[in-house]
Amino acid sequence: MSKSAKLELGEVVIELPIIEGTEGERAVDISKLRAETGFITYDNGLGNTGACLSNITFIDGEKGILKHRGYDIEDLCENSSFLEVSYLLYNNRLPSKDELAQLKAQIKEKSTIPDGINSLIKSFPKEAHPMGIVSAAMVALSGHYPHLLDPDLSDEQKSEIFPLMLGHLKSISAAVYRHGKGFDLIQSDSSLDYTSDFLYMMNGEKPNEDVAKSLDVLLILHADHEQNCSASTVRVVGSSKANLFASISSGIDALWGPLHGGANQAVLEMLEAIQSDGGGYEKFISKAKDKEDPFRLMGFGHRVYKNFDPRAKVIKGYCDTILEKLNVQDPMFDIAKGLESTALSDEYFAKRKLFPNVDFYSGIIYKALGIPTNMFTVMFALGRQPGWIAQWKEMIESDGARITRPRQIYQGKTDEKL
């Protein structure tokens, strides 16, 4: 095909370069459009705009494909751990046995948070939302590591900050959970793997192996998802040369929103509402089909995936395993199973591609593990952090990186006089 696109704007004609990705995506490069024509483009929500060139994650929403650095998500979940996938995202390759052992050792060394961060967490009201506390603690880490504030980090500093962030967010998240419960902090157990240690720091018990594996897979499924709202926020803040602590804190804040990371919390709130109504999920299936009814099923469909969410395919089996291993008896899970079964077999949902997504199953898993609803998004952040760090690193290392500064179409008043 042609390597350029011709755009006619009245009498002005401009040729714009076409960029093609390695997986076949195509984009028209409009970086010189305004300078040469005076026009800009308008794209509400930026759903059709490529803001960067990236080597990290590929998504094909129509085909239900998710890859990290060329590896299918199904393959990674089956054969790798969360730390291996985290290393892959950050370093563009899977670790060797020795490199993985070194990363584990570094994270264990950085799993004790500074006393000042622990005091900061304890200063919040117990009923404060955990995401606000985690965000505050993350940006406060900048005061404890002043040598890591320069965005132009050396290779040695990049090797230091990655395990530091993974170790500290794990411990911060567990500490925030225990603070909300009114319990004292539990120190990391260096004999446990990353996910098992996190669960141990939350409740003081070494978890069942199958449960820990299921949560590890869930963290993998959340590890990165291309230029979503929070990853884009990390890049936007980082483009100003803000340090990594501030950039990740901004990503946590973006993830907090109910249209992003808060979706799994919305799933449980929906299930609770159905249970309070009497547990008849069939009624709510009918409400979801009624165009005049404002009710909508949470955890079904996805903005990017127009087919089945590949992450949901993976986690569904682990969700069933956790419910079986923990022998959980909860009417809410029966409601969830009913919704899932109906949606997967009902032509109305199949025709509209409204399949259960990863948020539907992750909320059920967290509930089964006894994690309170307001901690769900923190769990999401724990999994997403390596992707955020990788996105930040790629951005600061890219040639010609510029501060993000979108344009607008002004539609306000003109020629007002005092």
Chain Cα centroid distance, residue 65: 17
Nearest of 375, 362, 393, 381 to residue 225 by alpha carbon: 381
Counted domains in the chain: 3
pLDDT tens-digit series, residues 253-291 = 999 988 888 878 888 889 888 998 887 888 888 998 998
Residues 356 and 289 in one domain: yes
pLDDT value, residue 388: 98
Strand order from edge to edge, sheet including 65-68: 57-60, 65-68, 71-72
Q: Is the pTM of this model over 0.85?
A: yes
Residues 119 and 238 in one domain: yes
The residue segments making up the domain with residue 315 are 263-368
pLDDT tens-digit series, residues 145-186 = 999 999 889 999 999 999 999 999 999 999 999 999 999 999
3-state DSSP call for residue 268?
helix
| Per-residue model confidence as pLDDT tens for the chain (418 residues) | 568 999 999 888 899 999 999 998 899 999 999 999 999 999 999 989 999 999 999 999 888 899 999 999 999 999 999 999 999 999 999 999 999 999 999 999 999 999 999 999 999 999 999 999 999 999 999 999 999 999 889 999 999 999 999 999 999 999 999 999 999 999 999 999 999 999 999 999 999 898 899 899 999 999 999 999 999 999 999 999 999 999 999 999 999 988 888 878 888 889 888 998 887 888 888 998 998 999 888 888 877 877 778 888 888 888 888 888 888 777 888 888 888 888 778 888 888 888 888 888 888 888 888 888 899 999 999 999 999 999 999 999 998 889 999 999 999 999 999 9
pLDDT tens-digit series, residues 197-210 = 999 999 999 998 98
Residues 119 and 244 in one domain: yes
Domain CATH code at residue 196: 1.10.580.10
What residues contact residue 22 under an 8 Å CB cut-off, 6+ apart?
Answer: none
The answer to whether 110 and 164 have CB atoms below 8 angstroms apart is yes
Residues 118 and 238 in one domain: yes
Domain CATH code at residue 362: 1.10.230.10
pLDDT value, residue 1: 56
Residues 267 and 194 in one domain: no
pLDDT value, residue 152: 87
pLDDT value, residue 113: 96
Residues 79 and 48 in one domain: no
- Continuous H helices in 290-373: 310-325, 331-345, 347-351, 358-368
pLDDT value, residue 162: 98
Cα(398)–Cα(51) distance, integer angstroms: 13
Q: Which residues are catalytic?
A: 302, 359
pLDDT value, residue 2: 66
- Taking residue 316's Cβ as centre, other Cβ atoms within 10 Å add up to 18
Residues 282 and 340 in one domain: yes
What residues contact residue 291 under an 8 Å CB cut-off, 6+ apart?
Answer: none
Is the residue at 301 inside a domain? yes
- Give the chain's end-to-end CA distance (angstroms, integer): 57
pLDDT value, residue 247: 98
